[in-house]
Structure 1
Amino acid sequence: YIVAQTVDGLVIVDQHAAHERIVYEKLKRALNENGISTQMLLVPAVVELDDSDVAALVARAGELAKLGLVLEPFGQGAVLVRETPALLGETDAQNLVRDLAEHIAEWDDALPLERNLLAIASRISCHGSIRAGRRLKPEEMNALLREMERTENAGQCNHGRPTYVELKLFDIEKLFGRR
């Protein structure tokens, strides 16, 4: 968590939830503008899955590619990940693909493509975010806070939880019996 002083109190930020929202909004913006830039993996990642999961992912390969995740079937019970969204930086393609495979059944073919893409973008942004508990340097904390100020819907993560809570000076003083 990040604890920062404000003009009239303190703010406590859930760094993972806040960064997840930032990444999600960037993915949405890139998707609407000129597409999501990809990062080719130096060594493609082989992800072993159940045959049904492979089939489901391959069936959605076009949608996943629009979000910067390029994969293809790779023999029996596996997919090969060639590219990931550049916005995520260094990411664990194995866990990302396994998580997507686990949730792919939730995506409804009857929904407009955009709604399914946003659901996938939400899952991807979770994997590309700063991990909870990771110690950030002061400049990283500051950059995250400044980015939150510029991000739409920064007060809530993709799952609906708050990304920060504010403690007003008045309330802090009450906690310490000063009011």
Structure 2
Amino acid sequence: AAQAFQSPSPPSLAQPQDFLAEAPPQARYEPADDSSSSEAAIAPDYPLGAAKAQLHKTYIVAETASGVCIVDQHAAHERLVMEQMKAQYEQGQIKSQALLLPEIVELPADQTEAVLAEADRLKSAGLEVEAFGAGAILVRSVPALLGQTDVKSLLSDLAEELVHLGGATALSDRTGYILATMSCHGSVRAGRRLNAEEMNALLRQMEVTPAAGQCNHGRPTFVTLSLADLEKLFGRS
């Protein structure tokens, strides 16, 4: 069953284009011919094990000390980005990245109104917006953690979410929904090929990130099968 690994403090996460850059040194594992090196990589202090393969450019298969772990790379990295954004937000403000050319996004009237009503909160979350005529929003900056994100898609998804929430949702919950929507746009996508080093970096970061066992939508980020589970599947005793 999926489980979360706790840490006294959240890790420093890099942008989705290069999340390996700030991974712990032990994440930089490459498969080796020496069996002792392989065994060290799946020691008990690495609960999610050592990456062995990527399936359908979506799932990471890792060998653990007691079985197998399968990770949904998008769901897992989405949680990592979310926790990093939460940590920055709680410290005052999420770091932003100014757009070289501010982007204009056209939206329905109700969505435009919903976004502008949350302009101050969005700015604290690293997204700077302002009105630009009727039915349009000018985006000046985005959260730095998102890297080269699709600004129009990000703002459209945020606008839909804010309209859906309405005005009755508690302020803390609204902030959570905003950060969750943003982190989805800043995470490694299904369909992206990862090398062994990148996969192991993701596993190591998951092991030290709070609530890493669930994505922002409540779905599991990984499942595990013990060796006993595998033996049962193949009728071995």
Q: TM-score range by the shorter chain?
A: over 0.9
RMSD: 1.3
Counterpart in 2 of 1:36? 94
Structure 1's unaligned 5+ residue stretches are none
SS, match of residue 187 in structure 2: coil
Higher percent of residues as helix: 1
SS, match of residue 202 in structure 2: helix
- 1:65 matched to 2:123? The reply is yes
Counterpart in 1 of 2:189? 131
SS, match of residue 184 in structure 2: helix
- Report the CA distance between 1:138 and its aligned residue: 1.4
Superposed CA offset, 1:6-34 (max 9, x none): 00001000111111111111111111113
Contact 1:108 1:116 in 2 (8 A): no
Counterpart in 1 of 2:155? 97
Q: Which amino acid aligns with 1:105?
A: V
Task: Supply the distance in 1 between the matched residues of 2:159 and 2:169 (Cα, whole angstroms).
Answer: 18
Superposed CA offset, 1:98-131 (max 9, x none): 0011111233534442221111101111111111
Counterpart in 2 of 1:166? 224
Q: Which amino acid aligns with 1:131?
A: R
1:86 to 144, 150, 158: 144
Contact 2:96 2:127 in 1 (8 A): yes
Task: Supply the distance in 1 between the matched residues of 2:216 and 2:115 (Cα, whole angstroms).
Answer: 22
- Report the CA distance between 1:177 and its aligned residue: 2.4
1:148 to 201, 206, 221: 206
Task: Supply the distance in 1 between the matched residues of 2:236 and 2:142 (Cα, whole angstroms).
Answer: 53
TM-score by length of 1: 0.95
Counterpart in 1 of 2:173? 115
TM-score by length of 2: 0.72
Superposed CA offset, 1:53-83 (max 9, x none): 1121111111111111111111222111111
Structure 2's unaligned 5+ residue stretches are 1-58
Task: Supply the distance in 1 between the matched residues of 2:196 and 2:103 (Cα, whole angstroms).
Answer: 33
Task: Supply the distance in 2 between the matched residues of 1:140 and 1:44 (Cα, whole angstroms).
Answer: 32
SS, match of residue 130 in structure 1: coil
Task: Supply the distance in 2 between the matched residues of 1:18 and 1:96 (Cα, whole angstroms).
Answer: 19
SS, match of residue 81 in structure 1: strand
Could you tell which deviates more after superposition, 129-138 or 19-28?
129-138
- 1:55 matched to 2:132? The reply is no
Counterpart in 1 of 2:19? none
- 1:18 matched to 2:76? The reply is yes
Superposed CA offset, 1:30-59 (max 9, x none): 111132000111111211111221121111
